[in-house]
């Protein structure tokens, strides 16, 4: 069984109506993704990558994130722009729910759709320059990865999380990314130390940031 395919429409999406047209005609529901499914990736940044799901989606995970990728997209992350050209790689429900809630912006990014209505990220180029993002399909560009391991997640941690949640496994890379998730919990500690319980207006950027790393922002 395979999922994902080429569709030139996803390279030039400007409206959610255009996204809906792709999802209705070509999208696959979560129930169609199973252990053993081959995922073929074709989007603006990747056109020559595929992987096989080694677990059922959302199962046998080595860490306990606060929200699934679909819940994060529906909640409002990354100004609505992060995965809009990945409609055929992931379950259609992720995008349909987010479209209904108004949290996707295929044309121009919009900070107001974020859960806390604030910007809380650096551009991808900054992550690459800072050495925080393993270097695409090329080996040897990140000291934590051996030369045997290629990192295909060119968009960073959230893209890795989406693929890991779906059931892809790359053990060495997974250990690194899970360790990064665990390290991010320090931001929850900072919120607890500086904000009164339930005061969601305190440190909104930090709350947005931890939600984008699948941590609970409502502490």
Q: pLDDT tens digits for 126-181? A: 555 555 555 444 444 455 565 556 789 989 899 999 999 999 999 999 999 999 99
Does residue 88 register a pLDDT over 50? yes
Q: For residue 8, give its domain range.
A: 2-211
At 104 the pLDDT is 97
Q: What is the dihedral of CA 42, 133, 136, 124, to 10 degrees?
A: 50
Percentage of the chain exceeding pLDDT 90: 77
* Domain assignment of residue 217, yes or no: no
Closest CA to 90 of 168, 189, 184, 188: 168
At 161 the pLDDT is 98
Query: Are 149 and 137 in contact, with CB atoms under 8 Å apart?
Result: no
DSSP character at residue 14: -
DSSP letter string, 140-180:
TSSTTS-TT-----TT-HHHHHHHHHHT---HHHHHHHHHH
Percentage of the chain exceeding pLDDT 70: 85
Query: Are 119 and 55 in contact, with CB atoms under 8 Å apart?
Result: no
Q: What is the average pLDDT value for the chain, to the nearest integer? A: 89
Does residue 122 register a pLDDT over 80? no
* Domain assignment of residue 216, yes or no: no
At 48 the pLDDT is 87
Structure-model confidence comparison of residues 53 and 137, the more confident one: 53
Query: Are 104 and 125 in contact, with CB atoms under 8 Å apart?
Result: no
At 143 the pLDDT is 54
The whole-number average pLDDT for the span 57-82 is 97
* Domain assignment of residue 58, yes or no: yes
DSSP character at residue 111: G
Closest CA to 22 of 6, 34, 37: 6
* Domain assignment of residue 83, yes or no: yes
Looking from the CA of 182 toward its CB, the CA atoms found within 13 Å total 8
When divided into structural domains, the chain yields a total of 1
At 137 the pLDDT is 41
CA-based torsion, 23, 25, 31, 36: positive or negative:
negative
* Domain assignment of residue 187, yes or no: yes
* Domain assignment of residue 136, yes or no: yes
Please report which confidence band the pLDDT of residue 125 belongs to, taking 50, 70 and 90 as the band edges: low
Give the chain's radius of gyration (CA, Å): 17
* Domain assignment of residue 22, yes or no: yes
């Amino acid at each position: 069984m395979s999922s994902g395919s080429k569709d030139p429409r996803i390279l030039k999406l400007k409206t959610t109506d255009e996204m809906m047209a792709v999802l209705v005609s070509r999208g696959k529901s979560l129930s169609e993704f199973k252990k053993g499914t081959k995922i073929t990736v074709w989007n603006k940044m990747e056109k020559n990558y595929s992987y096989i799901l080694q677990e059922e989606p959302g199962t046998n995970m080595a860490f306990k994130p606060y929200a699934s990728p679909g819940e994060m997209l529906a909640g409002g992350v990354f100004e609505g722009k992060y995965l809009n050209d990945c409609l055929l790689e992931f379950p259609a429900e992720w995008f349909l729910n987010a479209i209904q809630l108004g949290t996707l912006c295929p044309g121009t990014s919009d900070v107001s759709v974020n859960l806390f209505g604030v910007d809380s990220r650096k551009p991808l180029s900054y992550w690459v320059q800072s050495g925080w993002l393993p270097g695409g399909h090329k080996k040897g560009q990140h000291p934590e990865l051996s030369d045997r391991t290629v990192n295909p997640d060119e968009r960073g941690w959230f893209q890795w999380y989406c693929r890991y949640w779906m059931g892809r496994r790359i053990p060495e890379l997974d250990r690194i990314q899970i360790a990064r998730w665990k390290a991010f919990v320090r931001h929850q500690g900072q919120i607890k130390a500086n904000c009164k319980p339930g005061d969601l207006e305190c440190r909104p950027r930090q709350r947005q940031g931890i939600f984008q790393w699948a941590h609970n922002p409502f502490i």
